[in-house]
């Protein structure tokens, strides 16, 4: 991994958080002394089963929740210090944006382009600049021809791309996707994943993708596995998915190719585990069978 001496866009130090309970009794920590830093320009996937703390982590990084202890630094600025003002939070939100799970509940306006304009309008930009950004953002997500449509008539994948455009138009350097593909059908999921990947590769936007789909997690350049509010594994997809047993213990799946290769290996075939492409996987199996 390239370790340029740059300020990480997001840095988390020793973060703990427990959701408040109704009767005031102590609940188990949703996050338990988590430390982690996200380099600018990277594509990080965060994996974990329900209740593993991955969504809580996202809410910390987008400053929706305030940590019990520890700190969240956005672009080198400590957002958990006591002297953080409303302005500081707004400033940080201009750098880090978030796309949520349900596309319906994050679209504000009745016309697509009006919704994309909502964020830039909040920033108080001049109207020509807003117009330029909206057109640019819509073409980046491939929704230009729907600019005058009503959002409720679009498909889930299209709505989610509109929500992404709304974040891009604010020129965020980092976008957190909080299970943004979970409510979509396979076609919609592919649309959104392709868009996310393009934003990272071409626009150099830092991507934090929270998901429980393994085939989405392998598309990033770093995978973080959460379990019980802690970071269980952290590394490249190849490193992480080479240990299927550890993922299964954390009640997670591994990509189907990895599972297949793992079982082959257990039966004595000499195969690598870090292959996620079905074609490559087939070649590896053929090679191993040829050797027998």
Partner 1 sequence: MNLDISFGQYCEGKSVLHRMDPRAKIIASVLYIIVVFLAKNLWSFGLLLLSAAVLILASGISPKIILKGMKALTFIIIFTSVINIFWMKGETLLFSLGFVSVYLEGILNAIMIALRIIVLLIGTSVFMTYTTTPIALTDGLEQLLAPLKKLHLPVHEFSMMMTIALRFIPTLIEETQKIMNAQKARGADFASGSLMKRAKTLIPILVPLFISAFRRAEELATAMECRCYTGGDGRTRMNVLHASPKDVVLCILLVLLGMVVIFTNGLGGYSLSW
**Site residues for partner 1 per CB under 8 A:** 62, 64, 86, 90, 93-94, 97-98, 100, 102, 104-111, 113-114, 117-127, 130-131, 134, 150-152, 166-167, 170
CB of 77 to partner 1, least distance (A): 16
Q: Least CB distance from residue 195 to partner 1, whole Å? A: 18
Minimum gap (Å) between residue 141 Cβ and partner 1: 16
Nearest Cα neighbor of 71 from 80, 59, 62 is 80
What are 38's two structure tokens? 């996200």
- Alpha-carbon Rg for the chain, nearest whole angstrom, is 21
Q: Which is nearer to partner 1, 126 or 268 (CB)?
A: 126
* CB of 99 vs partner 1, minimal distance in Å: 9
Residue whose CB is less far from partner 1, 93 or 219: 93
With respect to partner 1, which residue has the nearer C-beta, 106 or 257? 106
**For residue 32, what are the CA distances in angstroms to 70, 71, 104, 234, 258?**
10, 13, 32, 16, 30
> How far apart are CB 270 and partner 1 at their closest, in Å?
49
Structure tokens, 191: 């649309």
Question: Please, which residue, 119 or 237, has the CB nearer to partner 1?
Answer: 119
| Nearer to partner 1 (CB atom), residue 101 or residue 242 | 101
The smaller minimum CB distance to partner 1, of residues 81 and 150, is found at: 150
Q: Exposure pattern of 4-23 as b/e (b: 16+ CB <10 Å)?
A: eeeebbbbbbebebeeeeee
Minimum Å gap between C-beta 30 and partner 1 is: 17
């Amino acid at each position: 991994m390239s370790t340029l001496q740059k300020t990480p866009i997001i840095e988390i130090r020793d973060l703990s958080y427990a959701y408040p309970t109704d009767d005031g009794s102590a609940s188990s920590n949703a996050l338990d002394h988590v430390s982690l830093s996200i380099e600018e320009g990277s594509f990080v996937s965060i994996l974990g089963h329900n209740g593993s703390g991955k969504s809580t982590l996202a809410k910390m990084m987008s400053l929706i929740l305030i940590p019990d202890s520890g700190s969240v630094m956005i672009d080198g600025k400590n957002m958990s210090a006591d002297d953080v003002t409303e302005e500081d939070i707004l400033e940080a939100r201009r750098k880090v944006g978030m796309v949520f799970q349900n596309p319906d509940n994050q679209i504000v306006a009745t016309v697509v382009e009006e919704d994309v304009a909502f964020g830039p309008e909040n920033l108080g930009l001049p109207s020509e600049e807003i117009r330029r950004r909206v057109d640019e953002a819509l073409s980046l997500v491939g929704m230009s021809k729907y600019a005058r449509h009503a959002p409720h008539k679009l498909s889930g994948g299209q709505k989610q791309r509109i929500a992404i455009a709304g974040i891009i138009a604010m020129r965020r350097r980092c976008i957190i996707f909080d299970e943004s593909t979970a409510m979509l059908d396979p076609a919609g999921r592919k649309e959104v994943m392709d868009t996310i990947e393009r934003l990272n590769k071409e626009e150099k936007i830092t991507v934090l993708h929270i998901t429980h789909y393994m085939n989405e997690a392998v598309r990033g350049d770093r995978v973080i596995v959460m379990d019980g509010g802690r970071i269980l594994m952290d590394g490249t997809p190849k490193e992480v998915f080479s240990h299927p047993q550890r993922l299964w213990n954390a009640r997670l799946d591994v990509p189907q190719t990895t599972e297949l290769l793992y079982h082959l290996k257990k039966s004595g075939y000499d195969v690598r585990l870090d292959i996620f492409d079905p074609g490559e996987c087939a070649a590896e199996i053929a090679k191993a069978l040829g050797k027998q």
